[in-house]
Amino acid sequence: MDRLDCNRNFDCFVGAGIAAEFAAGYMLEVLQKEARSGGIKVAIVSDRQVSGFYYNKIEDQFVLRDIKPYLITIEAQDNNKDLKTVARIIADLTEFDFGPCDCVIAFGGGGVIDCASMAVSLYTERPGFIVIPTTLGAMIDSAVSIKSYVNSGKHKDAACVDNCQNAVFIDPVFLPTVPAKYRSNGYAQVIRYGVLADPGLLSELSTLADSDPSDIRLFLNRVYAARAALERKNPMLLTFGDEIASAIEGYFRFMNYSEGEALAISLYSSLPEKARTYLKPIYAKLGLSVRLDGVSEAMIRKALEENFDKNKSKTASIVDYDKNAEGKLEWVIRDIEKPEAMKLLARRLIVICP
């Protein structure tokens, strides 16, 4: 078991098999110094697919220590990542009488982690919180994010809280069973970090089409380093591509395109032609689309305008590219009035809309 440098104030461990071998021990030795009468309670929040494959492996380590976990099963798709799901988790924690001596484990992809994190953060008697991500996207982003977001209707990230995880256990044994549609959530984040901070990550993406990272520790440390560099330079850079991606997801009410699929298409539209030419075969190998189907350019433009209207500011901040004095590409934040922002985004839409 190794530690990852995720640039956060909580423990982040990585290694094959660690989720089933060390999560219970960490909880008992580090988080829960003293159990109340009746013993420590554990709730595992997961979705049906992940719990169907792996729940017994996670449960066994607690049963061996005379702790029977409660399984809270939720629907983890983006259209269910909302306050209703969060409220249901809180209701179960209340029903089970969870308190500060107990522990919640988020076991799944980004949707499970976001909903469980928000529930724990809002719950008055806050228990310990461990995250076990099962998808590449969650390992890259959700498990180590400083905030968790949920949607409302067609509105993406309508509510958020500061994350409160005590530890993250990243275990690559879960990756082979991730559905192809949701593997894109991880690919898209790597593309964003690669374009903005570490081009070498883009070449590594080609190998992910054939298999999962051969060394997950080295790969994630490189991804986290790229993200940390962007956070130091300007955290706004991490919003690159979000405008069109959010409009796509919201238009389809989070059903037709996964978060990663929408972001990948948006990122492609936001690049200069030379960069698109380089990335197009990588997209093809990863199974990512460079065209937006099932909706017209006008309808996505309308969704963008509606999203802008929610923000009462007269200006918008858009991540865009420019050329420096040496003629090299550099990324900048353009603080421009909304009509100009819409023109910039409309030019991007032309690239991806038939």
pLDDT tens for 146-184 read 999 999 988 899 999 999 999 999 999 999 888 877 887
Which helix (DSSP H) or strand (DSSP E) does residue 139 occupy? helix 136-140
Residue whose C-alpha is closest to residue 158's, from 169, 148, 170, 145: 148
In sign, the C-alpha dihedral spanning 198, 203, 206, 207 is: negative
Neighbours of 149 (CB within 10 A): 17
Tokens at residue 117, please? 């994190």
User: What is the residue-level pLDDT of the chain in tens, covering all 354 positions?
Assistant: 799 999 899 999 999 999 999 999 999 888 765 555 568 899 999 999 999 999 999 999 999 999 999 999 999 888 899 999 999 999 999 999 999 989 999 999 999 999 999 999 999 999 999 999 999 999 999 899 999 999 998 889 999 999 999 999 999 999 988 887 788 788 999 999 999 999 999 988 888 766 778 899 999 999 999 999 999 999 999 999 999 999 999 999 988 999 999 999 999 999 999 999 999 999 999 999 999 999 999 999 999 999 988 877 889 999 999 987 777 889 999 999 999 999 999 999 999 997
Which helix (DSSP H) or strand (DSSP E) does residue 88 occupy? helix 83-95
Task: List pLDDT tens digits, range 50-102.
Answer: 999 999 999 999 999 999 999 999 998 888 999 999 999 999 999 999 999 89
Which long-range contacts does 152-155 make (Cβ < 8 Å, 24+ apart)?
152/82, 152/83, 153/253, 154/250, 154/251, 154/253, 154/254, 155/250, 155/310
Where helices occur in 209-318 by DSSP H, the ranges are 216-233, 242-251, 259-269, 273-286, 297-310
Q: pTM for the whole thing? A: 0.92
At residue 273, φ and ψ (nearest 5 deg) are -60, -40
Which helix (DSSP H) or strand (DSSP E) does residue 147 occupy? strand 147-152
Domain architecture of the chain: domains with CATH: 2-177 (3.40.50.1970), 184-352 (1.20.1090.10)
CB 111 within 8 A of CB 45: no
Alpha-carbon distance 75 to 328, whole Å? 45
Residue whose C-alpha is closest to residue 69's, from 48, 43, 40: 43
Q: Which residues contact 322 (CB under 8 A, 6 or more apart)?
A: 329, 330, 331, 332
